[in-house]
Amino acid sequence: MSDIGILGTGAYVPDRVVSNDEVGAAAGVDDAWIVLKTAIYERRWAAADQATSDLATAAGRAALESAGITADQLSVIVVATSTPDRPQPPTAAYVQHRLGAAGAAAFDVNAVCSGSVFALSAVESVLARRGGHALVIGADVYSRILNPADRKTVVLFGDGAGALVLGAGRGARVRHIALHTFSELAGLIEVPAGGSRLPCDQPALDAGLQYFAMDGREVRRFVVDNLPRLTKQFLHEAGVVPDDIRHFVPHQANGVMLDTVIADLALANATTHLTLTHYGNTGAASIPITLDVAARAGAFGPGELILLAAFGGGMAAGFALVEW
């Protein structure tokens, strides 16, 4: 992707702030327990009248403004989400309409929390054929699929959207991308009902199968065992060494787990950027939100290397190396 650059970033989180005490009440845990287990202090949840496409559209507008282009210059819009407005049509179609990007192809990508990095890879071939600019948006509204009584999941997630505008010839260069899927572990993270395998009928609702479910212990084992190894492999393939990395933007899953992973990565010269303390785990939105927050704070210097590392259901992992 040597000709593709990030021209602008944007993000949007809902106004509603949800405290640990509020989210923990039904799950039988308090603020101290949640902070100890996750390092999350609060998160944002969407209003009753907000869907994933609303958050995605707001983030997309911010990214377009940052890039200095208009929606009619877009060739493609890709929305990475595992919480679409509806099973069909794609959430990206709603975003395209609201942005007024009539000439853009629009489709969704679902690689759960790795979705934004998978979407970055997808736009390479589209831009090679169509030219122009791409809008990649990670957006999720997990608050709608959480079991309020499940302390393993309800305390982790927030709602939000992050967006990147990509195009050729200028901007932060995307130097290398790698994608992985470990399908034998697909059952570790799932929403059992609502698809063609198991419709969301009354028996499924009565059993709570419409809710997000996760084997937290095994997910942690997967991340701790695999992310350092895959990261070192990725950096080798990209032709850089760990000491070359100046910034690390991981998926914002769980702050306590990330502390363990970061220690194993040995990125001695890298600053790790985190937004989970106030936004929680925002799914596919977490990396573009965090990238936008850091970029707008002036954290990145010209020529500095940024490592993006995502992981999530599937089980999937995605890596991108960006030269600012």
- The catalytic site residues sit at 113, 251, 281
- Are the CB atoms for 166 and 136 separated by under 8 Å? yes
User: Using the 8-state DSSP alphabet, how is residue 25 labeled?
Assistant: T
Which residues have a Cβ under 8 Å from the Cβ of 94 and sit 6 or more positions away? 53, 57, 85
- Are the CB atoms for 291 and 310 separated by under 8 Å? no
Which residues have a Cβ under 8 Å from the Cβ of 244 and sit 6 or more positions away? 235, 269, 305
CA R_g for the chain: 19
| Element containing residue 195 per DSSP (H, E) | none
Closest CA to 159 of 239, 47, 65, 77: 47
Residue 191 is encoded by which pair of tokens?
């929403």
Dihedral sign, Cα of residue 13, residue 16, residue 17, residue 19: negative
Entry field: residues in the chain: 324
